[in-house]
Structure 1
Amino acid sequence: MNSKLNKIAIVDLVGRGNGAMDYYDLALQSGFEKSNVDCYIYSNFKENEHCIKVFVEERKSSIQKVLNYLIGYTRALFLCKTKGIKVIILHYFQGTVQDLFPYLLSKLLGLKTIVIVHDIVSMANNDIQAMKELILIKFSDHLVVHNQFSKQQLQEVISGKRKDEISVVHHGAFKQLTDDSITREIAREKLGLSSKAQYILFFGKIKSTKGLDVLLNAMPKVNNDINLIIAGNPWKDDFEKYQSIIDKFELQHRVILNISYISDQDREYYFKACDALILPYKEIFQSGVMLMALSYSLPIVASDLESNKEIIRHEENGMLFRSEDSEDLAGQVNNLFADTKLLENVKGNCLKTIEEDYNWDKIAKQYIDISN
């Protein structure tokens, strides 16, 4: 591209809702605007004048979902063309026949596509390899992943092709979402929690790869004065199997459940009220919840997956335990709460981590460099 970038668009089907991609889009938009690049968001929400609602948030029937998909992407991409936008950002989560559509249409309209590959392998296990290769090899101009682990995995998936067209650009943090007027005391009162007890938090979508079973199996060995809060709704998973572990170990008095979609306001309360976040993931490419916790200076205990280790440094800005090892998880939680100095140091280093490495203004500049 010969001319300097002055306009860019983010086209996002997920947007506001269970995926909470609106946080991501708006933060990246803000970064672009600070670099004097007009950024338009085509999604299912309207937050400002550069947000254009082209998708419907609630789709009930299968036909409605397909029409929403086709009409929304068609409208968004033609609007980009009309506005003279030459570069668009697309979010990639899976490779199916339907997912091919926006990439093919972008090519036909002559739009340059920067594709953020969030999940190298679909969490819904519905990838079609041929479609995946068409999207990631033929119909994308540049691929972006959030860490080195994802880059290595992606290169394996596309057989080492396009090595020079894959960039690592961090997922930003969410300090802009925190509400300083909400204190720990206010949050605990709102949630009906004890002002003196200790609480650890499991937050977000509940699915098998998130390892909630690992955490629940650890609870009998976690100190008795530490309680667990589970806040989130199941996604292609049955909570009954987790309830059976709670019943088996008679944990009802130590486990507080809110098995539902968590609003922004309640998210604020949970992250302010709790003493640590637990991420017992068995598989993950990048955790937005982890970056959210760092933004709240909430200490993290996470499984030692490669993607987690690129952010969490053990006993510096969080704690790591052996993946799928409930006993080690319990030990790390107990160690963190037993050492007040360690707990305070970890809290202090959370914000330093996001300010140095996960700043949206710096991230937007990387996308501008890619676009130019």
Structure 2
Amino acid sequence: MRNVIFLTGEDMLDVDMPIVKEMNASNSNQFNITWMVVLRGYGWFKEDEINTFCKQNNVNLILLEQLGKLKNPLSIFFHIKVLKILKKLNPDVIYDSFAGTPFLHFLRPLFLSKEKFVIAIHDVVQHYKMKNYMARTFYNNFLMKTYDNFHIFSENQLKIFNEKFKNKKTFCTPLYLKDFGELKENNRITDKKITYFLFFGIIRPNKGLDFLIEAANTLGKRYDNFHVVVAGKCDEWEVYDKQIERPEQFTLKIGNVETDEVPDLLSGTHFLVLPYRDVTQSGVLLTSYNYNIPIIASELEWFTEYIEDGSTGYLFESENAAELAKKMEICINLDEVGYDSLVDNLKTFIAKAINIKDITQEYAKFFETVNIDSK
């Protein structure tokens, strides 16, 4: 039996949580799993929630708290603490989605062999106008050059990775559906007298909210039976706010969205809109799919893996607000029978393409190949 540690930062908790649960339940004779969680105080997940989850699923848990900004030089002592714990546990495999920016992996050679690590890489290339773009690129490239074992989350990112880095061992599986609790049925929209569109998640330039606003402005000149909800944190909201021509057709929830608010947001919408300029993968898409909400998205490579245009959702030419408006117009004019058919098609696709047992078996097969003889 191999000892495996999942090292997870708070921003990746919802990614690793279903995998840890399923692997711990289905591969208990193959792996002894410990979940090492680092909370940063974001508030997305509370300590009690994680403790309860692990007790209910018999998961071994090590819970740590890292306070202060990442760039604070004193964070080096926290990273040394993490490395000392890992060295003492002496696992065969360390699956790392924490990354330990900026010190952990520069210090790692003093404590552990690199052969034990499987590095989770979500963005082989950083997003358009991403905050701290240069620092993120430098650290990610350092990880990808230094280590040998990687988890890549989509075929398009794997292709880019293989072009940049040769002779690396990889496995490629998608993210699993993200569950934030049950929908409240009394809040669920049951008709399409008004079509509701939702933009949800941290608002950054690469997310293309400006295209959705422009499309809504165009449609608002001819339709009054649709509504756009925008929910998420934004550092420069005034830039987007000035673009909205018909405020009465928008509901704005600008700020942090708590995890327990997510089901209510999705129960009140017909379509999630993802007008991104670029994408590697999207947790928001997988949250929407968990609740069987169809999506309108830019025709980017990762989205085309998950959306069948006109069957399970709609795709439009990236960075083209006029084309987005045309797809939104189709949705506005879609009757309840047509919408229900779209949802049924989506449910069928999800059942085939995003299966937790198939996903975790890919983890298990790869973990068996990781070198366990390193010192």
- Work out whether the TM-score is over 0.5: yes
Structure 1, residues 200-258: CA drift from partner, whole Å, max 9, x if none? Answer: 10000000000000000000233321100000001xx4111101101xx2x11001101
Q: Does residue 166 of structure 2 align to residue 156 of structure 1?
A: no
Give ranges in structure 2 of 5+ residues lacking alignment: 40-46, 369-375
C-alpha contact (below 8 Å) 1:93/1:119 kept by paired residues: no
Q: Which of the numbers 282, 285, 288 marks the counterpart of 1:293?
A: 288
In 2, the alpha carbon distance for the partners of 1:80 and 1:351 equals 41
- Cα deviations by residue, 1:68-103 (Å, 9 ceiling, x for unpaired): 4x3343333332332342211122779xxx546336
Pair 1:344-2:340 in alignment: yes
Measured at CA, do residues 75 and 274 of structure 1 come closer, stay the same or move farther in structure 2, by a change above 3 Å? same
Letter in 1 for 2:236: D
Change (3 A) 1:220 1:130: closer
Mean Cα deviation higher: 220-229 or 122-131: 122-131
Q: How does 1:188-337 map to 2 (within 5 A)?
A: 197-222=194-219, 223-234=223-234, 237-246=235-244, 249=245, 251-337=246-332
Contact 1:278 1:300 survives alignment (8 Å):
yes
Tell me the distance in 2 between the aligned counterparts of 1:344 and 1:231. Answer: 25
Considering only aligned residues, what root-mean-square deviation do their CA atoms show, in Å?
2.6
CA distances 1:32-58 after superposition (whole Å, capped 9, x unpaired):
1122132323321443253322233x5
Question: How many pairs are equivalent?
Answer: 339
Residue 196 (structure 1) shift: 5.3
Length-normalised TM-score, structure 2: 0.82
Counterpart position of 1:137: 145
Instruction: State whether residues 153 and 175 of structure 2, in contact with CA within 8 Å, keep that contact through their aligned partners in structure 1.
Output: yes
Which residue in the other structure is 1:172 paired with?
A: 176
Partner of 2:187: 186
Match of 1:31 in 2: 22
2:169 maps to amino acid: E
- Kept in 2, the 8 Å contact 1:173–1:354? The answer is no
TM-score if structure 1 supplies the norm length? 0.83
Q: Are 2:124 and 1:114 equivalent residues in the alignment?
A: no
Pick from 57, 61, 82 the counterpart of residue 76 of structure 1. 82
In the alignment, the residues of structure 2 paired with residue 104 and residue 60 of structure 1 have an alpha-carbon distance, to the nearest angstrom, of 18
Give, as a single letter, the amino acid of the residue that structure 2 aligns with 1:286. Q
Shift of 1:134: 3.4
Q: Which SS does the other structure have where 1:114 is aligned?
A: strand
Correspondent of 1:102 among 95, 105, 120:
105
**Change in 2 beyond 3 A, CA 1:347/1:72:** farther
Helix, strand or coil for the counterpart of 2:307?
coil
Distance 1:133 1:339, change over 3 A: closer
Match of 1:258, as an amino acid?
A: K
